[in-house]
Amino acid sequence: MTSRAALAGRAAGLLAAAALLCGGCSLLPRTAASSPAPASTSARPSAAASSWPAAAAPASLLPFSAARLQAAAGLAGRFTAAWDSWSWRQSPAAWLAVLRPMAAASLEPALAQAAGDRGVLAQRAADRETATATVTALAIRDLTPGSVTVTVTAAQVITGGSGTSRASAGWAVTLTPEGASWSVWDIEPAGAGNS
């Protein structure tokens, strides 16, 4: 089968195989994680068409090795932790300096916009707030030959003049291969996109 419809139908088999392969392994790195507002609204990276058996696909048919997928998940977790960790004393440039090495160049304008939101910065300064995020769960949500989307759940502790609060958020982080490594192409609330 070589038609687009047949290939699209087989994508479900790929996702099922990836879930089986990764479901038993721990993708959760031992690092912190967290986040601000949605970053990118640009179109998803294109994926080359491939075909996989609709039944359980062996690991050799996945577009990336298990080790490469774990590296992607690890980067998604580190990026999300940095995204959701901030301090009222931290300049936008300092926050961006942590994220930029992990991000694709196309994501930088959205990151700069999120970092410079004057209303958010003013509120954080007024309340003297600091946030620290920790990754609590990682799962591969979408996998194509051109990208992988990892759902990251992060617990955030915010301390400030009015005390301490806790929150949990889910993020969909899409990564694209960059040579032998990965770069973060997009981050959005898990319920809003990257599916």
What number of other Cβ atoms are within 10 A of residue 117's Cβ? 14
The domain containing residue 34 runs over which residues? 27-50+65-189
Q: Digits of tens for pLDDT over the chain (195 positions)? A: 444 433 333 443 444 344 433 443 344 433 333 334 444 444 555 444 333 333 345 666 778 998 999 999 999 999 999 999 999 999 999 999 999 999 999 999 999 999 989 999 999 999 999 999 999 999 999 999 999 999 999 999 999 998 999 999 999 999 999 999 999 999 999 988 554
For every residue of 147-173, DSSP letters joined together read EEEEEEEEEEEEEETTEEEEEEEEEEE
Residue 71, in any domain of the structure: yes
> How many angstroms separate the CA atoms of 26 and 120, rounded?
35
Q: The CATH number of the domain where 110 resides is what?
A: 3.10.450.50
Residue 16, in any domain of the structure: no
SS3 assignment, position 31: coil
Residue 118, in any domain of the structure: yes
Question: Can you give the pLDDT at residue 168?
Answer: 95
E strand or H helix at 175:
strand 163-178
Residue 194, in any domain of the structure: no
Q: How many domains does the chain have?
A: 1
Is the pTM here over 0.85, yes or no?
no
Strand 130-144 to strand 163-178: parallel, antiparallel, or no bridges (unpaired)?
Answer: unpaired
